[in-house]
Amino acid sequence: MQLGDFTYHRPKSLPEALALSARLGAGAMYLAGGTEAIPEMKRGRERPEHLISLRDLPELRGIRETDGRLEIGAMTSHGEVADSPLVRRWAPVLAEAAGSVGSAQIRRQGTIGGNFCGAVPCADTPPAAVVSGATLRLLGPKGARETAAETFFLGPRQNALEIDEVLAAILVPPPPAGSGAAYERFGLRKGMAVAVAAVAARLVVDGGAVREARVALGAVAPVPLRAARAEAALTGGVADGETFARAATEAAAECRPISDIRGSIGYRRELVRVLTLRALLAAARRAEGSRA
Ligand SMILES: Cc1cc2nc3c(=O)[nH]c(=O)nc-3n(C[C@H](O)[C@H](O)[C@H](O)COP(=O)(O)OP(=O)(O)OC[C@H]3O[C@@H](n4cnc5c(N)ncnc54)[C@H](O)[C@@H]3O)c2cc1C
């Protein structure tokens, strides 16, 4: 496994990085933590002539509250996201998902931006961001634009970034009153293992009824999938095990898994059913707790 030849660039400002990317075009690739990009280069699936490091760009780092939203810089590591008191307050489900990524080394080196831009179907943080209603700030030579986390993913390893754009930040709105959320994933072992199936769920519960439901599935479709039928089965229903079990069955039916060495289609559907039920029960408990 050889990396191949490439030129390494280490710009010191965001405008410099964007200008480099615009000048070098399709032969260039951004490098964040490298935990996805370097193995892909070794496997020969990526062959960039230029790597543009995002390491020295303070504009892409840090977690802060701005204009009534939580802003997480794309270069923030999973460990920082998982441990951040701000993320735990605004979107605990995102902290939970970031804390489940790989090992301590991967969480220290890998970034939340890289998790999105790699667009691998089993990535942990995107489903949590989707149920949190997050949007993504994309920056390019023409300026900034925002897109919903939900519509950023176009297929396995394909995202909505234009060739000269960078993902700058993940923006999370405040959680609705009376809401609770949870992330459940299944890997083949307790140690470092990517998700075979994963479910993020957020419920708004009021007077024992589900006012709003969001369910996003990971690793069981080409992109993080909103489980529309499960959400419809939940909305307006009683927040109890019976409603959740019905919704879990809908989620299992509407996911679009593949068979591979980690699991068959049938096995993944059953995982989705079980994980959805667990995530809904946990989300409902937290929603109740948020009103206490
Ligand atoms: C042993 C191992 C275990 C892993 N376990 C998990 C796991 O359990 N869960 C999980 O979700 N992932 C896992 N991963 C995958 C990987 O660690 C994560 O996806 C990580 O978040 C990638 O981030 P990075 O900073 O390393 O990205 P990089 O590898 O640097 O980049 C990934 C891709 O995104 C692009 N990119 C990165 N940042 C930006 C940006 N800001 N703007 C535009 N493009 C950008 C790069 O050009 C590249 O194409 C694992 C990887 C390894 C090696």
From the CB of 35, is ligand 1 less than 6 Å away? yes
Domain count, the chain: 3
From the CB of 54, is ligand 1 less than 6 Å away? yes
From the CB of 167, is ligand 1 less than 6 Å away? yes
Give me the CATH number covering residue 196: 3.30.390.50
pLDDT band at 1 (very low <50, low <70, confident <90, very high): low
In-domain check, residue 207:
yes
From ligand 1's centre to the CA of 181, what distance in Å?
24
CA dihedral 246, 248, 252, 253 (to 10 degrees): 30
Rounded to an integer, the average pLDDT of 33-41 is 97
Query: Which pLDDT tens digit goes with each residue over 126-185?
Result: 999 999 999 999 999 889 999 999 999 999 999 999 998 999 999 999 999 999 999 999
Q: What is the pLDDT of residue 164?
A: 87
**Domain interval for residue 69:** 62-172
| 8 A C-beta contact, residue 95 and residue 81 | yes
- Do both 42 and 77 map to the same domain? no
Give me the CATH number covering residue 158: 3.30.465.10
pLDDT band at 90 (very low <50, low <70, confident <90, very high): very high
Give the nearest ligand 1 atom to 167 CA: 42
Phi, psi for residue 49 in degrees, rounded to 5: -85, -25
From the CB of 32, is ligand 1 less than 6 Å away? yes
Give me the CATH number covering residue 22: 3.30.43.10
Rounded to an integer, the average pLDDT of 228-242 is 98
Domain final residue, candidates 148, 172, 196:
172
Q: Which of 178, 235, 217 is nearest to 97 (CA)?
A: 217
Question: Which residues, 6+ apart, have CB-to-CB distance to 15 below 8 Å?
Answer: none
From the CB of 166, is ligand 1 less than 6 Å away? yes
Query: Which pLDDT tens digit goes with each residue over 178-227?
Result: 999 999 999 998 778 999 999 999 999 999 999 999 999 999 999 999 99
Domain final residue, candidates 172, 196, 230:
172
Q: Using CA atoms, how far apart are residues 102 and 111, in angstroms rounded to an integer?
A: 12
